[in-house]
């Protein structure tokens, strides 16, 4: 399986510049609408932020651009207000259009409210090495001391996400080619963490497993004899690239869906016996 970033793909530096333009656009919109007095921090993390070694590490349209915002208590209460949401979305679009006039792709941001996340019982902050401070306060290091507890969470997530496979057929059967992206994106957030979770469950320190990009994760899976999981997991992203490059290539979309299903099923089975 060729994992070289060849000239078959767009220039990685251009893609990165567009991602950074989107991150700055989202940060600007949030600050415009909520005000700097109420924005404690804006952080950038995820596949768009990590180093890229191969096309596995970022796929336009499929990969999201993970942005976390930490607001004052007063502003957080208004975060889900419709008018605020519309204003932030409009501001983000306007800022991005000014920064990038003819993009190769429009990065897909995913905005998360830290105020909500920290209330979740199983939430663990990302390793600080893979979090970039865009504005405001720097993040605190995640607490990875409870290795057994984190592995238990990773194991449970692998099993529960595998159950999603049962719902794919009915969501797929009536989707003409252009609408496959909706299904692929709904699978992506379940497929993306498979590699880190499998490595964690197989014995790697969770903080290390969650710090690596997909190219390094794939290599680590192969080193541990977990090719059956690694190969469909990799194929999901390579097929996603082909669909981005050739939007009319329905076979690429179907290949990506099949790879997602295989990766989810096999990782779920792996977790059940560990």
Residue 6 placed within a domain: no
Give the pLDDT score at 274.
79
Does 162 lie in the same domain as 131? no
- Which of these three, 104, 136, 168, is where a domain ends? 136
Residue 239 placed within a domain: yes
Residue 2 placed within a domain: no
Does 225 lie in the same domain as 132? no
Give the pLDDT score at 140.
86
Instruction: Answer whether 56's CB lies under 8 Å from 215's CB.
Output: yes
Does 107 lie in the same domain as 60? yes
- Which of these three, 95, 110, 136, is where a domain ends? 136
Does 261 lie in the same domain as 165? yes
> What's the pLDDT tens digit per position in 227-266?
999 999 999 999 999 999 999 999 999 999 999 999 999 9
Does 236 lie in the same domain as 127? no
DSSP string covering 83-131, please? HHHHHHHHHHHHHHHHH-SS-S---EEEEEEHHHHTTSTT--PPPGGG-
Does 151 lie in the same domain as 132? no
Does 155 lie in the same domain as 53? no
Does 159 lie in the same domain as 108? no
Per-residue pLDDT tens digits of the chain, which is 274 residues long: 678 999 999 999 999 999 999 999 999 999 999 999 999 999 999 999 999 999 999 999 999 999 999 999 999 999 999 999 999 999 999 999 999 999 999 999 999 999 999 999 888 888 888 999 999 999 988 889 899 999 999 999 999 999 988 888 888 998 888 889 999 999 999 999 999 999 999 999 999 999 999 999 999 999 999 999 999 999 999 999 999 999 999 999 999 999 999 999 999 999 998 7
CATH number of the domain at 128, please. 3.30.460
- Which of these three, 111, 136, 161, is where a domain ends? 136
Cβ contacts of 118 within 8 Å, gap of 6 or more:
none
Does 118 lie in the same domain as 92? yes
Give the pLDDT score at 229.
98
The 39-45 sheet, strands edge to edge: 108-113, 64-71, 39-45, 132-136
Give the pLDDT score at 214.
97
Does 131 lie in the same domain as 180? no
Does 222 lie in the same domain as 162? yes
Structural domain count of the chain: 2
Domain of residue 40: give its range.
12-136
pTM: 0.94
Residue 5 placed within a domain: no
Does 128 lie in the same domain as 159? no
């Amino acid at each position: 399986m060729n994992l070289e970033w060849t000239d078959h793909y767009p220039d990685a530096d251009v893609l990165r510049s567009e991602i950074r333009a989107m991150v700055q656009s989202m940060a600007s919109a949030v600050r415009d609408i909520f005000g700097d007095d109420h924005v404690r921090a804006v952080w950038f993390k995820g596949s768009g932020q990590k180093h890229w070694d191969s096309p596995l590490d970022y796929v336009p349209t499929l990969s999201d651009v993970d942005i976390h915002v930490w607001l004052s208590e007063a502003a957080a209460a208004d975060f889900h207000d419709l008018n605020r949401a519309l204003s932030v979305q409009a501001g983000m679009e306007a800022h991005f259009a000014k920064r990038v006039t003819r993009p190769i792709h429009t990065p897909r941001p995913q905005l998360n409210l830290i105020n909500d996340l920290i209330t979740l019982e199983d939430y663990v902050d990302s390793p600080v090495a893979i979090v970039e401070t865009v504005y405001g306060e720097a993040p605190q290091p995640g607490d990875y001391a409870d290795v057994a507890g984190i592995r238990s969470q990773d194991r449970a997530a692998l099993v529960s996400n595998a159950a999603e496979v049962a719902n794919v057929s009915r969501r797929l059967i009536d989707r003409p080619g252009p609408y496959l992206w909706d299904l692929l994106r709904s699978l992506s957030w379940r497929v993306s963490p498979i590699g880190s979770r499998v490595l964690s469950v197989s014995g790697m320190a969770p903080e290390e497993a969650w710090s690596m990009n997909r190219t390094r994760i794939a290599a680590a899976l192969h080193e541990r004899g977990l090719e059956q999981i690694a190969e469909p997991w990799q194929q999901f992203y390579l097929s996603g690239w082909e669909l981005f490059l050739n939007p009319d290539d329905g076979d690429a979309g179907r290949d990506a869906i099949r790879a997602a299903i295989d990766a989810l099923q096999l990782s779920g089975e792996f977790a059940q016996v560990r």
